Amino acid sequence: MSANIQQNETVRLRIDGMHCAGCVGSVEKALKRTPGVAQAMVSLAGGSALVRGSGLNAQELASVVSQTGFDATPASTRNAAADLADRLGKDDGKQARAWRWRVMLGVALWLPMELAHWFGHGLGLHMTSGAGLAVALAVGTIAQVFIGSAFYRSAWSAARRKATNMDTLVSLGSASAYALSIGHAALIFTGQGEHPTYFIEATGLLTLISLGHWLERRAKRGTTKALRELAAMQPTEAVVLAHEQDTSGATVPAHDVLPGDFVLVRVGDRCPVDGELLGPASLDESAVTGESVPVEKQAGDTVMAGSVAVGSPAIVRATTDGAGGTLGRMVALVADALASKADVQRLADKVSSIFVPLAIGIALVSFTVWFFLPSGGLAKAVVTAATVLVISCPCALGLATPLAVMVGTGAAGRRGILVRSANALERAAIARIALLDKTGTITSGLPVVHEDTPNSLLETAASLACRSSHPLSKAIVRAADQRGLQYTPAADAREEPGKGVTGTVHGQHANLISPDAARREGFEFDDAQLDDGPASVVIVGGQFRGVVHFREELRAGAGEFVDELANLGIEARVLTGDREGPAQRLADRIGLDRSRVRAGLSPQGKVDHVREASKDGVVLMVGDGINDAPALAAANAAGGVGVAIDAGSNIALESANAIIPGDRPLAVADLVRIGRATRRGIRQNLFLAFVYNASAIPVAALGLLGEHGPVVAAAAMAISDLCVVGNAVRIRLVIDKQTAR
């Protein structure tokens, strides 16, 4: 199915009850079989699904998921991503509290029994006969009902859809140990000799695994904090004015604001929408750009949702609705990234899908062998099989990639970098070539007057340009003001489209015109005079006075940006549709070898260069304009990453796999560092998980963990989970250190 159809409609679902990669696989398969679905990405850590296709019905998709045994409901349609973020905070907290309650109950039941087992003989307490056994039976039964029920419900849900999951292993292990103990207790109570019971072990097993689940929930709540914080920045209410002169307005839900509405942003409040300022204002844009210094803006300037009014209120004409502004887009992109999967995660999911049935098979073989061995028997066989089932739980394997991706996307989000997919992080980590569009990426796109322009020439030009709205005229006036020059507006000034400005300056007829217009007037110039770039010619009294040269303003940190990429082992190249001369002089200004500049490129030319460069390694294509959109899409298709500048066109933003703040090109280097740290973390986590399972299962199957094997196995599984969680926390610290400035 085409990519266009995939992006046609998007539905987000809340899903409860998933516990492992096997659960994720079951839900994804069910969704992908649904007519109209082109893509389904299910997030274990986020408890959500992102479905794309055409003709989608959210309720029908939720019903499909529910038929697989999980609770599913559609996210709100007006602001689905923010709704998901809110649910992540509430549900993770609720589930964490539920698991904590189970842990507390388990410890209260298990610890006294364990102490009595080891030290009770001296006090006359015997847990294998009489009253002691009766207490053990009661406590073990309470644990099975109130703690084990969560695992049994999950395992039964999987069995109903003819599948298995992590809780299948836990349930089989715990239930088999408990059932064997019930049988042996019956023999003891009827006077048929001494037999071992495992009520203590079964209770300890459920307690320790519940401890692992509680710690996982707490860790997942921490890794989704960035998404929740972004969502929390979106105002829930907005003050909408009836007209520009209205001073009171009406308070409405923020998601009800429509394009064209006049919105009052009071001092200290956040703007609920993207829009256009109707008057001067000071705005704190740190939530979106990361810059803590307030920005002074004028009427007509763009305001981003999430900006805070400082000093005085601001009136904004909305250009988006309440859910479609910059912050809403940021939340949606982070949510989508959490639902996506890296290539390595797909491999882990495939392994997990066959791992549980394999573990059950190994447990059956282990049970059979130990049952018939002279040194074995029924009790030894059951305990060994239960140990295999518990110790082989692939919980750490299921968490390995999602936790690392959450940390990576969260760290990127805190720095204003929006990542659409886990694959974008993984590809950025191995990028070798960065293709940089010139205008909007290296330069701001605004013309500036060359610093060598004489003051006298600039003063005359400013007199003619001060009433013109042309970008070059504005640049002249801006430069004159910055130099503190005194100029008087030209008398009888008039602007002629395609030519320039004419008027009277100090009693003489003067012209500020283009070089082509000057040539038509009979003036001759050589290439050196025009500097092969934008220029305006000043003529006074019919005499040539000079040429005002322009060049594009460099973005702050542009030169440092190229050096940062070089330090990361990434070759930077500049792509531009501009002429060769200005392009090469730009290379000199940013310290880039001229051979790495490709000038005179059409949009198709940029696409061709992306494809050619992709043969030499993974490519980062960075651009901001409509003409960059094909190249950004080509980079994604070639296995690279299209990186859009957030201040650019919507078409460019939609074509990219990552978005960086408009005023921070250095964020590209941060994206690479975050990608590398995340990629290392994923592989470290998967290594820990695979090594744990590969080494633990043989140890358990050989019966080397003894009669307390199930409890030891539960503790080992919890420790493996903690290793993965701890490594995810370490990744965040590494990223913070590497991107600190």
| Greatest alpha-carbon span in the chain | 125
Grouping H, G, I as helix, E, B as strand and the rest as coil, residue 537 is: strand
Rounded distance between C-alpha atoms, residue 649 and residue 93, angstroms: 39
Q: For 483-557, where are the alpha helices, taking DSSP H only?
A: 515-520, 527-530
Are 655 and 642 within 8 A, CB to CB?
yes
In our burial notation (b when 16+ CB lie closer than 10 A, e otherwise), range 136-166 reads bbebbbbbbeebbebbbebbebbeebebbbb
Q: Give the number of other Cβ atoms within 10 Å of residue 468's Cβ.
A: 18
> Would you call 531 a catalytic residue per the annotation?
no
Two tokens at 253?
Answer: 């839900």
Please give the C-alpha separations between residue 143 and each of 19, 98, 132, 736, in angstroms, as whole numbers. Answer: 20, 15, 16, 43
23 neighbors 158 (Cβ within 8 angstroms): yes
Contact 360, 443 (CB under 8 A): no
Contact assessment for residue 371 and residue 693, using Cβ atoms and an 8 Å cutoff: no
Angle, helices 667-701/422-429, rounded to nearest 10 degrees = 100
Strand partners, 275: 303, 318
Residue 134 token pair:
């009766």
CA distances from 520 to 513, 516, 524, 554 (A): 11, 6, 9, 33
Residues 648 and 628: beta-carbon distance below 8 Å: yes
Which residues fall within 8 angstroms of residue 55, CB to CB, at 6 or more apart? Answer: 9, 35, 36
**Helices and strands (H, E) in the chain, number of each type:** 26, 26
Q: Which segments of 161-301 does DSSP mark as H helices, in order?
A: 166-189, 199-223, 225-232, 286-289
With vertex at residue 85, the alpha carbon angle to CA 80 and CA 89, rounded to the nearest 5 degrees, is 145
Q: Residue 631 in contact with residue 435, Cβ under 8 Å?
A: yes
The first and second tokens of residue 90, run together, are 């509430």
Please answer whether residues 322 and 273 qualify as being in contact, where contact means their C-beta atoms are separated by less than 8 angstroms. Answer: yes
The single residue of 167, 349, 437, 624 carrying the catalytic annotation is: 437
C-beta of residue 709 within 8 angstroms of C-beta of residue 200:
no
Active centre residues (catalytic) = 437
